[in-house]
Amino acid sequence: DKIARLRQILDERGLACELEVDGGITAQTAPGAVGAGARVLVAGSAIFNRRESVKEAMDRLMASLRGLTG
């Protein structure tokens, strides 16, 4: 996984960077991205869509991340 590999390289070199993932972030993919080392998630279409309200989408995304530590 690219995120995990980049996190490993940054840690090995002692570089303090926050990894951002922009694109493809949903309630299903967010936990894996955070687990791999991402700390900033851009979830545009997962939040701003016609299927549910912004609040419902944010609640669903945040619920998928509850309990994760990074």
Give the domain ranges of the chain.
2-65
Helices (H), 1-70: 2-12, 30-36, 44-47, 54-65
Place of tokens 């609040």: 55
Q: Residues with Cβ < 8 Å from 35, sequence gap 6 or more?
A: 68, 70
Mean pLDDT, to the nearest integer, of 55-67? 95
pLDDT surpassing 80 at residue 31? yes
Answer for the pair 25, 43: CB distance below 8 angstroms, yes or no. yes
pLDDT at 67: 84
Choice between 69 and 57, residue whose per-residue pLDDT is larger: 57
Q: What stretch of H or E contains 39?
A: strand 38-42
pLDDT surpassing 60 at residue 47? yes
Mean pLDDT, to the nearest integer, of 20-45? 96
Question: C-alpha 36: how far from its chain's center?
Answer: 9
pLDDT at 62: 95
